[in-house]
Amino acid sequence: MKNIFKLRKSAGNLKRLFGLRFFTSLFFSLILNPLAFSLAAHAARIYPSAGATSAAFLKMGAGARALGMAGAFTAAADDPYALYWNPAGLANLGGGNALSFFHNDYFQGLKQEFLVYTVPAGKIKFLRPLGPGSGVCALGLDYFRVPKDMERRSGLNESDPLSPISLSEGDFGAYDLALSIGYGYKTAGELRLGAALKFIRQSIDNESGSTFALDLGAQRDFSRWGENFTAGLTVQNIGPGVKFISRRYPLPLNFKAGLSRRSADSGVLLALDVNKPVDNYPFIALGAEYPVTNKLCLRSGYRYRMYGNELGAWSGFAAGLGLAFSRFAFDYAFTPFGELGNSHRVSFSLKLGKTEDQALKAAAPRTDKEALANGRTLAYELTLKPMIISPRGVQYEIQAVSQDTDLYSFTFKTLVRGQTAATLAMTEGELPPDMLKGFSTGARPVKAWQFAATPGSIQGDIVFKLKLKRTAEPVEIAFLYRTPNGWERVKLEFKNADGKFAYFEAAAPFSAYYVLTAVDK
């Protein structure tokens, strides 16, 4: 019996392996104890083909938020800098245009700037026939420069035994840039796909070279062991390489996979990345983001390379913070580079165009033909959990509960800018006559519901919970929602039952009408 108990306990621990406990323990072991890797760092092994690729600036990252989490952003990418980390994450941006600027005060006087502009694909005329839906386009410019303070020497005197050092012939500099255009969209399920095409140019002194490259990415939300996760996959810098003079140098091809989870209780985001560049050993990165208030976030992370970090244990550490307001957001990240110095990185994001207050607000007045007949108003008490803070607003997971109806609870994620309400109203009643068409044969509407207030900008499906009185007559029930093309049926999942009620759950997008139907067997 004791052995059986141990086996059951081990199985339970395995189920939680990628849950919050696993993330938390791994996070603290990497973040708070980097000295544990110091011995490995002193004996760091150099990759055999290290430095063999061109366009090394493409490895530097973009966006202080992601860098404050040590680059663990493949699955968590949901801001404009998703153009760099995972273009599929652009689909998370929703409506509205945004302009973001990133400055990297790198070590040894090196500088990097990254500018990105995002716009919903639906606002671009020539993309409308493609039906991009929730797709978002982005245009980015990544610019890296070396100060013009390097001495030019011809090397002609190197064979002279008396004076082998050539005289200085002046100074020169270098710059790299990448112009990117990306697109991310959400499919019918929980899958998001994206791609970014890049034009790359490198210049040093009087020589330069150019090429094109492609980034591909995917994200998918899923649930395991009662927890919600996001998985991400990215392939960066697919291309022929940069040709200088007569030789072509390969691009820093990079493969990344990530997993993230945001706690429904505290709003803490934990993210894990595994990264395999073509010219280095694999990396593992773990980052965390903690929302202190609805305007302030703290972040930290650690990035460790197999066989040790080349610049010492602390070179993998990262920390930062973020501030978000109605239209403006600011992020800062600090990353040390051992004896080379420290890097300070800042990001600014600005929401452009007309911005409506997205707080919970009253719905537009409905005509008699649109309103439910014999309706009564239901008041739902709301419990709000902040999930993501961004210049677009605060994303909350909201649970609405009312004991006065069969539709006793529903949960959804919404983007809110401004104050949030404590209650939300729905109307319960009978469908208007014009809405009674389109049901399956023999189906009759039992009850219908309609939102009496607009619950912000809803992200994804709404999960409805119903409790129905148990009856002796056998009936088949269904849950439907209204679309422009008619009624759509969704899966109504039986959860459990007691002596009086049977409990069901269904997930459906935001709609003007929801209805429960029954068919006598």
We report the CATH number of the domain holding residue 129 as 2.40.160.60
Statement to judge: residues 339 and 475 lie in one domain: no
Tell me if 315 is assigned to some domain: yes
- pLDDT the model gives residue 393: 59
Q: State how far Cα 62 lies from the chain centre.
A: 14
Residue 423 has pLDDT above 80, yes or no: no
Statement to judge: residues 462 and 337 lie in one domain: no
User: What residues have CB less than 8 Å from 131, skipping those under 6 apart?
Assistant: none
- pLDDT the model gives residue 499: 79
Distance CA(468)–CA(517), nearest Å, equals: 12
End-to-end CA distance of the chain: 48
Statement to judge: residues 411 and 339 lie in one domain: no
Statement to judge: residues 294 and 429 lie in one domain: no
Residue 419 has pLDDT above 90, yes or no: no
Q: Which two tokens stand for residue 449?
A: 């519901």
Statement to judge: residues 291 and 240 lie in one domain: yes
Express each pLDDT in 475-499 by its tens digit.
Answer: 788 899 988 888 888 888 888 888 7
Residue 134 has pLDDT above 90, yes or no: no
Residue with tokens 């983007």: 415
Q: From 519, 488, 491, 492, select the one nearest 504 (Cα to Cα).
A: 492
Statement to judge: residues 136 and 108 lie in one domain: yes
Statement to judge: residues 333 and 370 lie in one domain: no
Look at residues 318, 352, 386 and tell me which one is the last residue of a structural domain.
Answer: 352
Tell me if 280 is assigned to some domain: yes
Q: From 458, 472, 480, 461, select the one nearest 502 (Cα to Cα).
A: 472
Look at residues 301, 330, 352 and tell me which one is the last residue of a structural domain.
Answer: 352
**Domain region containing 103:** 22-155+165-352
Tell me if 16 is assigned to some domain: no
Distance CA(334)–CA(319), nearest Å, equals: 5
Could you tell me the CATH number of the domain that includes residue 483? 2.60.220
Express each pLDDT in 248-293 by its tens digit.
Answer: 889 999 999 999 988 766 778 899 999 999 999 999 999 999 988 8
What does pLDDT average to over the chain? Answer: 80
Number of domains in the chain: 2
Residue 20 has pLDDT above 90, yes or no: no
Tell me if 66 is assigned to some domain: yes
80, 94 contact by CB (below 8 A): no
Cβ–Cβ contacts within 10 Å for residue 35, how many? Answer: 10
Cβ–Cβ contacts within 10 Å for residue 491, how many? Answer: 11
- pLDDT the model gives residue 208: 87
- Phi, psi dihedral angles at 34 (to 5 degrees): -65, -20
DSSP state, 359?
S
User: What residues have CB less than 8 Å from 409, skipping those under 6 apart?
Assistant: 399, 400, 401, 402, 464, 465
Statement to judge: residues 365 and 341 lie in one domain: no
Statement to judge: residues 388 and 494 lie in one domain: yes
Distance CA(388)–CA(409), nearest Å, equals: 23
R_g over Cα of the chain: 28
Residue 367 has pLDDT above 70, yes or no: no
Express each pLDDT in 53-103 by its tens digit.
Answer: 888 899 999 999 999 999 999 999 989 999 999 999 998 886 678 899 999
Tell me if 150 is assigned to some domain: yes
Statement to judge: residues 331 and 398 lie in one domain: no
Stretch 112-124: mean pLDDT: 88
Distance CA(150)–CA(295), nearest Å, equals: 44
**Confidence category of residue 228, pLDDT binned at 50, 70, 90:** confident
Distance CA(382)–CA(399), nearest Å, equals: 6
Statement to judge: residues 181 and 273 lie in one domain: yes
Tell me if 15 is assigned to some domain: no
Statement to judge: residues 66 and 194 lie in one domain: yes
Cβ–Cβ contacts within 10 Å for residue 478, how many? Answer: 19
- pLDDT the model gives residue 295: 82
